Chain A
């Protein structure tokens, strides 16, 4: 059932991730020994959570589509739950929220049966038309537009955008082009580059950052961090491309650049959402990271764009 004979390139890539995590854990132990007076709790929690994230994410790469779609569906479920917990919903919309949650299994089901057309229009067309209709039936007009729009936006980022991780995984199956085992490799490429881009932007910003990009939204984001991160990710994309993707070197570098730029935009857009609501973190689900949306913010932009980039050029 589970195809444990992963493609050699994916095994190499996963070994790389585990090597990174082990290095991080050992470095932390060393730092704790060396500077016992400093508080390492935050970093400790962060690394421990990374282990959990990698373990769960690995489940999606085993080559079993139903398991992978269930794991990714749960990610959407947690993200939507976090979003709805934060944003104010009307008591009258209790039933509408139930329908919103029901979109998650459906959206992933379309991927499971390889129905690309439905997958791509289900939320932005049908659900977007259904939500206001269902709210009208309730008859509460006070705050109607705000309630409808914030629910639609939540479904857009937490379900539609994030389900594109599943779409990348199923891309060869959706189009009937290429081998199915390419899917997990493409998904790994997308997720690894997006997460490394976050780290790179943070490190570049921390060491060289001077010019703030958008001080009102996210005071820690600097132009230096953005450019350095995007360049690093472009380079990483170019390096990993031949191992994990069918991309030509130029296309791999462009894919890296796309992820670098879009990752930054996703991050800052979710920051604006959090700022509007008035919270610093979106939740407490991932100790050391905040909520699940804090970790997935950049993926909400990179996943759909990377999917279409790959779909257009190769599948």
Chain B
């Protein structure tokens, strides 16, 4: 089986972190080899013929061969058999991929422009980071807030669209500790390529600890809570907080207490009420140089306590 493993090693697939990934790679390795042979036959045959039968005189005699039924049957039938075998093999793996295990750990994932919001059963929320225990079936329940996104973990060979207005699902059982990339593969606008998350596979104990910590965060001081919310609500995908660098929106670093010029040229003081207004009615006063209608309103998504936490956090960005 040396050649087989060689083909897989040369396949450039990312680390295999699930059993399914290994199965997919086996099939892919097989396809790579058959494809290579097919190409050698066709391209090699072509090169051999054009060289062997290259024009020697301007009036070469050529053979008159219009068809050959047996040959033609053969080269229709053999590909058909190969294609059907590949199809059946693919079906077999796909069946496992799509059959959701019972008793899986369920995690809700919400795609939005441009971040993944993750919510565990105990109410703990994070953004762009999924933490799961090793060796356990995990089922992700996907949906979207706005447009279609697609949840892709290359190392797990899994992908599923997150469609607004309905749930789709995905399952995996990680068998390797470590951090893996999550990409969004359904084009979703401006920061589509920035919609990158991390999938952390940890031990059972670490996972339990992680969830507990999440519980404790409810008793955090106000600004810490704000920091958390800032991440969870994906404010960070558009506003930087540790430098004056402008992302999609203005930086919030050291902004509190300064003056901002808005689009009609007037100046406005960045105080508690301005921040609150910017969160709830972002289009009322647009900072000069930024387009209207980019930031969504958070009206109805934050309660008073959460608003104060955010204000407190922004106040303390120094």
A and B: partners?
no
Could you tell me which B residues sit within 8 Å of A by CB distance? none
